[in-house]
Structure 1
Amino acid sequence: MTTYRGSCHCGACRFEVDTDLDHVRSCNCSVCRRRGALIHRVPESALRMLTPLEDLTVYEWHSRTARDYFCPRCGIMPFRIPSAPTAQETAQGKLPFAGWAINARCLEGVDLASIPVRLVNGADLS
């Protein structure tokens, strides 16, 4: 387990996360493909906010079950709460995830080219 420090571009949003960064996810849904974030999920207890969540801007869309946290100054999304499984995903046996999705592009000292990328076909979920 490694502790990573992370931040938005301007540094107004800072955090630490404990994880084994063994992969990242790249989703092709309408928001994610525009955003370009590389996501790694961690349990709720693995993320420590060094900036109060209240200082960030929240974006909710579609099912309104996900919460994307953005820096109000520079607009970068360092982390999010993933959406609840859709009816289609639940029917396929997917369980809800209780934790955080960290944008690995916001972590310091990470060689993203060395981390396997798992593709998520979010565009086909309704």
Structure 2
Amino acid sequence: MSEPKTHSGSCHCGNVRYEATLALGQVVACNCSICNRVGHLLAFVPVEQFRLLSGEDSLVDYRFNAKKIAHLFCSTCGIHPFGRGKGPDGKETYAVNVRCLDGVDPRTLEVMHYDGKSI
């Protein structure tokens, strides 16, 4: 696994910008109905390792099924840069879409496939 590093990320239009400190060793590809359609590759970080720099007023919160995860997207460009929810341990966490991180080539990352469709 790589060392933790602070990465900058954004939506397509740049309204939503953030920083997340994470080690990009393995990312998650979920096959649930939204992740599969959007094409997320996710890395999870605790709230203290995530900082929204701009665009909170541009974010739209979409929830489905159990309505526990805030699937956030930019109201201008429609890109899903990250989401919010609670991890299995009950702690608040961010799910960062690594495809939205500046300078990160997702083809170089190890992908773990998660069966969210069956949950």
TM-score, length basis structure 1: 0.85
**Gap runs ≥5 in structure 2:** none
Residue of structure 1 in register with 2:43 after alignment: 40
Residue of structure 1 in register with 2:20 after alignment: 17
TM-score, length basis structure 2: 0.90
Residue of structure 1 in register with 2:56 after alignment: 53
> What's the RMSD between the two structures over aligned residues?
1.5
| Residue 103 (structure 2) pairs with residue 100 (structure 1) | no
Residue of structure 2 in register with 1:30 after alignment: 33
- Secondary structure (helix, strand or coil) at the match of 1:31 reads helix
Write the deviation string for residues 48-75 of structure 1: whole angstroms up to 9, x where unpaired.
Answer: 1111423311101110111011110000
Residue of structure 1 in register with 2:106 after alignment: 112
Structure 1 runs of 4+ with >2 Å offset: 52-55, 94-98
- Which amino acid in the other structure matches residue 49 of structure 1? L
How much identity, in percent, do the aligned residues show?
36
How many residues align? The count is 116
**Gap runs ≥5 in structure 1:** 85-93
Which structure's residues are more often strand, by fraction?
Answer: 2
Q: Indicate the structure (1 or 2) with the bigger Cα radius of gyration.
A: 1
